[in-house]
């Protein structure tokens, strides 16, 4: 007898005639432990999506990234991963602390495979694995309830580009706060501009000059120019989301016309 599906899921399965398929998947593929294949797949991943729910039943989803294997398979029923500092809201981790219910989605975009892990989470600042993760604030351990592969249909194929700045490697390192990518170094700064896409100055004392100048941008993106003394300019491309992260972190101020280092 199935224990995985509730009435609303059954209603849709019956509507689209997939009840027998769903039952077969649960019978053959869903298990409550991590086997050797699952462990190898998880150990090779450098990211996953984490779903949580708050006490009122409102969901939240976040991206968690690190070096391959940053999610540790402790044993056949336990996963562990570190939590690093972020925007300070603790939406996912607060939910996990309050309700313990989590869903983890691991995806291999190059080979188009994915795996789901559902279970209950615990948060511990004194976990023995703290020593294994520089700068971790605490360790999250997940007791698995359901582990199963997910259909690869509709997974886009992506190629790995870079993990630069995605996780701290040693004490003193910090994860990238912007997610921006360096796109070039020039000996003189561009002078063309577009209204509303100006980043006029860098904060003195950070190895950059306070001289202002506009830089070109594009729809939904910004080009951040940082003039380094005696070293020309470094251009960074930021998405609107990355710029919002800088603003939230107090690193950039924004007015109606321009954004600037604060």
Tell me the per-residue pLDDT of 130-148, one tens digit each, with 9 for 90 and over.
999 989 999 999 999 999 9
More confident residue, 191 or 246: 246
For residue 227, the SS3 value is strand
Least confident of 103-107, 154-158, 237-241: 237-241
CA diameter of the chain: 72
Which residues partner with 225 through β-bridges?
A: 235
Q: Once rounded to an integer, what is the mean pLDDT over residues 156-168?
A: 72
Judged by DSSP in three states, 26 sits in: helix
CA distance 12 to 14: 5
Q: At the top level of CATH, which class does the domain 9-150 belong to?
A: mainly beta
**What's the confidence (pLDDT) of residue 216?**
41
Share the mean pLDDT of the chain.
76
Q: Confidence band (pLDDT; 50, 70, 90) for 151?
A: confident
Q: How far apart are CA 79 and CA 115, in angstroms?
A: 14
- The residue that leads in pLDDT, 208 or 169, is 169
Strands 259-261, 252-254: pairing is: antiparallel
* pLDDT at position 249: 60
Q: Who's near 6: CB < 8 A, 6+ residues apart?
A: none
pLDDT digit string, tens, across residues 177-226: 444 333 333 333 333 333 333 333 434 444 433 333 333 444 445 555 55
Boundaries of every domain in the chain: 9-150, 181-261
What's CA 148's distance to the chain center, in Å?
Answer: 22
Question: What pLDDT, in 10s, does the model give residues 17-33?
Answer: 999 999 999 999 999 99
Dist. CA 177–CA 42, nearest whole Å = 25
Side by side, which strands form the sheet with 221-227?
Answer: 181-186, 233-239, 221-227
Residue scoring higher pLDDT (205 or 119):
119
The pTM assigned to this predicted structure is 0.65
3-state helix, strand, coil in the chain (%, to 5): 20, 35, 50
């Amino acid at each position: 007898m199935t224990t995985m599906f509730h009435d609303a899921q059954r209603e849709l399965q019956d509507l689209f005639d997939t009840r027998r398929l769903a039952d077969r998947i649960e019978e053959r593929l869903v298990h409550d432990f991590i086997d050797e294949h699952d462990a190898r797949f998880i150990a090779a991943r450098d990211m996953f999506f984490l779903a949580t729910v708050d006490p009122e039943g409102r969901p939240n989803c976040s991206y968690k990234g690190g070096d391959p294997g940053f999610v540790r398979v402790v044993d056949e029923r336990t996963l562990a991963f570190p939590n690093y500092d972020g925007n300070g809201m603790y939406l996912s981790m607060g939910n996990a602390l309050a309700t313990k219910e989590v869903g983890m989605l691991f995806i291999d975009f190059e080979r188009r495979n994915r795996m789901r892990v559902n279970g209950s989470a615990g948060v511990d600042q004194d976990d023995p694995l703290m020593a294994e993760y520089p700068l971790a604030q605490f360790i999250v351990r997940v007791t698995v309830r359901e582990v199963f592969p997910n259909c690869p249909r509709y997974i886009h194929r992506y190629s790995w580009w870079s993990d630069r700045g995605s996780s701290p490697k040693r004490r003193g390192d910090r994860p990238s706060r912007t997610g921006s990518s360096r796109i070039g170094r020039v000996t003189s700064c561009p002078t063309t501009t577009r209204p509303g896409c100006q980043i006029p100055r860098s904060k003195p004392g950070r190895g950059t000059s306070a001289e202002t100048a506009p830089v070109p941008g594009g729809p939904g993106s910004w080009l951040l120019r940082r003039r380094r003394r005696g070293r020309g300019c470094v251009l960074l491309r930021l998405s609107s989301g990355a710029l919002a992260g800088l603003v939230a972190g107090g690193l950039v101020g924004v007015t109606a016309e321009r954004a600037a280092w604060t």
